[in-house]
Amino acid sequence: MPVFVVIIVFSAIFYLYYKVKSFQAKTPIEKKWWNAKSSIALGLFVAVFGFNRLFITQTTVSIFIGILFIIVGTISIWTNFKAYKYYLSYVETKKENI
């Protein structure tokens, strides 16, 4: 599916962008915030790769691996989105104080 491939490429690009931004961040909270964003992009990459795997070949092993990737990616997106929201309030108050 070409749609999945486009999403996979964009999520990989966003992962790299957010990871570079986390290395450039000055405060530890800002680093954690950028790391949470990069982990969301990585989770999206893994989940969509799992969906793509389901449509390429439909053997038992392929379906099992695709479902496993979807579960791992979804858990990564969910946990890091919670971390992103948690650190967002600290980053916003830090930027207001500057």
Question: Which domain covers residue 67, as residue numbers?
Answer: 2-97
For residue 96, pLDDT over 80 is answered with: no
pLDDT in the model for residue 57: 85
b/e burial code for range 49-70 (CB count within 10 A of at least 16 → b):
bbbbbbeeeeeeeeeeebeebb
User: For 14-73, how does the pLDDT look when each residue is reduced to its tens digit (9 = 90+)?
Assistant: 999 999 999 999 889 999 999 999 999 999 999 999 999 998 888 999 999 999 999 999
For residue 95, pLDDT over 80 is answered with: no
User: For 66-82, how does the pLDDT look when each residue is reduced to its tens digit (9 = 90+)?
Assistant: 999 999 999 999 999 99
- Structurally, the chain folds into a number of domains equal to 1
**What average pLDDT does the segment 78-94 reach?**
92
Distance CA 89, CA 96 (A): 11
pLDDT in the model for residue 3: 92
pLDDT in the model for residue 58: 87
